[in-house]
Structure 1
Amino acid sequence: MTAENLYEAISEISSQYIEEADIRFINKSKIWKRVLTAAACLLLCFSFSVPALAAADNSIAYELLYFVSPAFAQKLKPVREICEDNGIKMEVIAANLEGDTVNILMAMQDMTGNRITASSDLMDSYSIYTPYNQTAGCNLEKFDSETGTALWAITIDQYESKLKPGDKITFSVSEILSKKEHTEMALESIVITDIREANNFAIDPQIRGCAGYYDENDIESTPLLFPDRTGYQLCDGVTLTGTGLVDGKLHIQVKYDDILNTDNHGYAYLKNSSGEIINYNYSVAFWADNKADSYEEYVFDIAYEELADCEVMGEFWTCNNAPIQGSWQVTFPISQ
């Protein structure tokens, strides 16, 4: 199904289907970012005129209702702004403004091969320009393997200044990751009962971020393990570089290779004999000396006596191919 077919399918949704369809899509976690404010943006693309929305039954559209809210699908306004670069076409199919939220459907299709996949990722390379300060998230919702077309949902949440019908939005992308791999595994190289108090710590680590439940005192007072330079490779692009007990807390350190170009990431967790999952309390990430690789240290505040009943697990997302470079940008007006 091409991006054009996708748009036509959405626009031909029967009101009967809309009323009867269940909202069965899964809200995946989105990476949110601040929307960029711009007085004017260059329009680098071309647009097509759009016929009025039809009201014919369409089984493909009915299938799409499992991936977008039926209420949202009913209110979609056609956009049809297209931009093509490096053999990949980007199209903003439809959008709507409702209250404090702007919803946008965007498709990307490889016109020359199969570089766009079900695991494609825009990383942090996308930008959204509006006249006001806002935040936005972009999430891959559906992939059509027959045509290599991926459908993204973009959501903009507004602050005090609200977008008005007729205001323009510019959406741009500069990099696409393709063929990402997902690995979930037991970290069998870690023997819980062999873990001892750590006594070798990183000196002045260049912290790049934190996650989980923590306060500033946790981060400032937490010694971080000195990375094992050889380590134990867990999967391509991910290496276990340290374990230890620090002030009664379990620390597990993992290195992710070349994160700015691969978006390699993941996390470690514990699972006890009953199958219960024990997540880390917080994590601290810091740069390797080469400023390309990143160490992430997962901290578990769990009694030592309970550790003996646990195994260490890991879940990782990796992509060790170079990102697809390009300049994709579309500008379009928003309507209610």
Structure 2
Amino acid sequence: MNGKELLQSMSEIENDLIIQSEFEFHQKKKIIHVKRRIAIAACLCLCLCGTVPILAFAGNDFAHELLYSISPSIAQKLKPINVSCEDNGIEMTVVAAEVNGEKTTILLSMHDKIAKRLDETTDLFDSYSICTPYDQSGGCSLVSYDAGTNTATFMLTIEQTDHILLPGDKITFSVNQLLSKKEHNNFKIEKIDTNNVYSITEFLEEPDIRGGSDSESESIDGDNMLFIKPDEANAIILKKGVAVTGYGIVEGKLHIQVRFSDILNTDNHGYVYLKNEDGKVVNCQSSVAFWDQSHVNSYEEFVFEVSAEELVNYEIWGEFWTCNNAPIEGEWQVTFPVEKNE
């Protein structure tokens, strides 16, 4: 699409749709006051200053995203129907859809036409998006894998918050990464000697915290927490992509620090826990994750309300999900209408 075509496509939007779009926009009390003439002027600036290749790269998605930010309902009305698409040798197809009140369930298949890159561990790596005409929340999970046809089937569930989907409304589902060949392991960490756990004296300064959790609170104050300085030279390799980089007693509590490698491309993650002599599981009181300097690897520090003296009565275990394959990249998008249930 060139610059003139983009401007024409935006100018051809019916006036009543524009009026409805602006009304919905102001009803939501957005801070950004975008009107049709400003949007077209912005596109014109792109045409003049950015040259046509920029707009050709953006294609229809640019206009759709711009309008969707103002009015999702109008944007979805204008979105063309496409129940199947293919990229990078993988075809995504809408298999079935059902609307039941506020809940919508959709089955989507991903069929690998050129290789066996998918398997029973395939997920969408949080790279998907869901667009409907109204506010909603949703999720997607793998429900089956057919090795004979190299096809993974996913279930998409959507919960409408304020307005149910009506016959003729359109749903758009997009995804750009698939992650496969993942491993799941749950084992005792033998290399940590619970009889020789000492107090930590070296701490990390100003960690780049990326998240955390606390069993006794909805939030955790990582800024006031002491973190072990990662000891990469003596790291205990648990699995490829997972290593213990420190453990010991901090302020009377057991800290265990685990490094997960290249998490943005592998989704390596997991946790450690304790087991007593009776097999009872003791989970951590809190955990906080922070980045390394390159923002590639993530460290997570698990804190247990267990002293050095008490630790001799426990074993240390870990459960981990790892993947050392790069994600499958592509641009998959389907748009389909809601049909009336018979």
Q: TM-score range by the shorter chain?
A: 0.7 to 0.9
2:205 — aligned with what?
A: 203
State the secondary structure of the residue aligned to 1:201.
coil
Displacement of 1:281 in angstroms is: 2.0
Asked if 2 retains the 8 angstrom alpha-carbon contact of 1:44 and 1:83, the reply is no
Contact 2:249 2:308 in 1 (8 A): no
Q: For 2:228, what is the secondary structure of its paired residue?
A: coil
Which residues of structure 1 form unaligned runs of 5+? Answer: 1-35, 47-80
Report the Cα offset of residue 163 of structure 1: 2.5
- 2:254 touches 2:307 (CA, 8 Å); kept in 1? no
Equivalent in 224, 247, 253 of residue 243 of structure 1: 247
Distance 1:45 1:291, change over 3 A: farther
Partner of 1:307, secondary structure, is helix
Alignment of 1:147-296 (within 5 A): 147-213=149-215, 214-216=217-219, 218-230=221-233, 231-296=235-300
Matches of 2:159 and 2:241, distance apart in 1: 34
Deviations 1:292-334, CA, capped at 9 Å, x for gaps: 1100111112355432111111111111111111010000112
Higher helix share: 2
| 1:252 partner amino acid | I
The one-letter code sitting in structure 2 at the alignment partner of 1:329 is Q
Paired residue type of 2:274: L
CA distance in 2, matches of 1:44, 1:272: 59
* Distance in structure 2 (CA, Å) of the matches to 1:217 and 1:128: 30
Q: Deviations over 1:46-85 (max 9, x none)?
A: 4xxxxxxxxxxxxxxxxxxxxxxxxxxxxxxxxxx21111
- Residues 192-218 of structure 1 deviation map (CA, whole Å, 9 limit, x = unaligned): 221122222111111111134235454
The CA RMSD measured in Å over matched residues stands at 2.0
The DSSP-based 3-state class of the residue aligned with 1:103 is strand
Distance across 2 between alignment mates of 1:262 and 1:276: 31
In structure 2, the partner of 1:40 is 75
Contact 1:43 1:330 in 2 (8 A): no
For the structure 1 residues 212 and 137, does the alpha-carbon distance in structure 2 shift closer, same or farther, using more than 3 Å as the test?
farther
1:307 aligns with 2:311: yes
TM-score after normalising by structure 2: 0.73
- Paired amino acid for 2:202: N
1:308 is paired with a residue whose SS is helix
Give the aligned residue type for 2:128. Y
Q: 1:86 aligns with which of 80, 88, 105?
A: 88
- Cα separation, 2, equivalents of 1:164 and 1:302: 55
Higher strand share: 1
Q: Cα–Cα, structure 1 residues 217 and 128, in superposed 2: closer, same or farther, change >3 Å?
A: closer
Residue of structure 2 in register with 1:115 after alignment: 117
Residue pair 1:252, 1:299 contacting (<8 A) in 2 also: yes
State the match for 1:323 in structure 2: 327
Residue by residue over 1:220-270, the C-alpha shift from the partner in whole angstroms, topping out at 9 and shown as x without a partner, is: 322121111231211111111111222222111111111111111111111
Distance 1:219 1:132 in 2: 36
Q: For 1:306 and 1:136, how far apart are their aligned partners in 2?
A: 44
Task: Indicate if the aligned counterparts of 2:111 and 2:149 stay in contact, CA closer than 8 A.
Answer: yes
Which string of whole-angstrom CA distances, capped at 9 and with x for unpartnered residues, describes residues 113-148 of structure 1? 100111112111111111222221111111112212
Long gaps (5+) in structure 2: 1-67
Q: Secondary structure at the match of 1:166?
A: coil
Alpha-carbon separation, structure 1, partners of 2:163 and 2:199: 53
Q: Which amino acid aligns with 1:279?
A: N
Q: Tell me the distance in 2 between the aligned counterparts of 1:303 and 1:215.
A: 25
* In 1: Cα distance, 2:334 partner to 2:214 partner: 36
Alignment length (residue pairs) = 267
Instruction: Find the partner of 2:147 among 134, 137, 145.
Output: 145
Q: Distance in 1 between matches of 2:203 and 2:80?
A: 51
Task: Please tell me whether the aligned partners of residues 45 and 329 of structure 1 are also in contact (alpha carbons under 8 angstroms).
Answer: no
The structure that has the greater radius of gyration is 2
Residue pair 1:44, 1:330 contacting (<8 A) in 2 also: no
Query: 1:161 and 1:139 mapped to 2: Cα distance?
Result: 24
